[in-house]
Amino acid sequence: MRETQGPLRGVRVVEFAGLGPAPFAAMLLSDMGADVVRIDRPGAPVETRDCTLRGRHLAQLDLKSAAGQAAALALIEQADVLIEGFRPGVMERLGLGPDDCLARRPALVYGRMTGWGQSGPRMHAAGHDINYISLPGALEAIGTRESPLPPLNLVGDYGGGALYLLTGVLAALLESRTSGQGQVVDAAMCDGVASLMAPIMGMGATGLWRGGRASNMLDGGAHYYRTYACADGRHVAVGAIEPQFYALLRERAGLDDPAFDAQHDAARWPALSARLAEVMKQRTRDEWCALFAGTDACVTPVLSLEEAPADPHLAARGTFVQHQGRLQPAPAPRFSRTPSCIQQAPADRAVEVGTLLDRWRGATPGFIQD
Distance between CA 41 and CA 70 in Å, rounded? Answer: 14
Mean pLDDT of 216-241: 98
pLDDT above 90 covers a percentage of the chain that reads 95
**Is the pLDDT reported for residue 222 higher than 60?**
yes
Confidence (pLDDT) at 370: 45
* Alpha-carbon distances, residue 361 vs 16, 74, 292, 322 (angstroms): 20, 11, 58, 33
Confidence (pLDDT) at 369: 47
Confidence (pLDDT) at 5: 87
Min mean pLDDT across 208-212, 222-226, 238-242 is at: 208-212
What end-to-end distance do the CA atoms of the chain give, in Å?
Answer: 6
- pLDDT tens-digit map of 79-122: 999 999 999 999 999 999 999 999 999 999 999 999 999 999 99
Domain-wise residue ranges, the chain: 2-196+331-368, 225-310
Distance between CA 209 and CA 194 in Å, rounded? Answer: 16
Residue ranges of E strands in the chain:
2-3, 12-16, 35-40, 56-60, 81-84, 109-114, 183-188, 225-229, 235-239, 299-301, 320-323, 326-329, 367-368
Domain 2-196+331-368 has CATH 3.40.50.10540: yes
Confidence (pLDDT) at 331: 98
For the annotated catalytic residues, the residue numbers are: 128, 157
Mean pLDDT of 177-193: 98
Confidence (pLDDT) at 3: 67
Mean pLDDT of 172-187: 98
Confidence (pLDDT) at 361: 86
The arrangement of secondary structure in 225-310, i.e. its CATH architecture, is 2-Layer Sandwich (3.30)
Q: In the predicted model, what is the mean pLDDT of the chain?
A: 95
Confidence (pLDDT) at 160: 98
Query: Who has greater pLDDT, 235 or 212?
Result: 235
Contacts made by residues 245-254, CB under 8 angstroms, sequence distance 24+ = 245/296, 245/297, 245/298, 248/295, 248/296, 248/297, 249/224, 249/297, 249/298, 249/299, 252/291, 252/292, 252/295, 252/297, 252/299, 253/279, 253/280, 254/279
| CA 94 and chain centroid, separation | 29
Confidence (pLDDT) at 2: 53
pTM of the entire predicted model: 0.94
Closest CA to 357 of 74, 131, 12, 82: 74
Q: Which residues contact 329 (CB under 8 A, 6 or more apart)?
A: 51, 319, 320, 321
Confidence (pLDDT) at 35: 97
- pLDDT tens-digit map of 270-313: 999 999 999 999 999 999 999 999 999 999 999 999 999 999 99
Confidence (pLDDT) at 211: 85
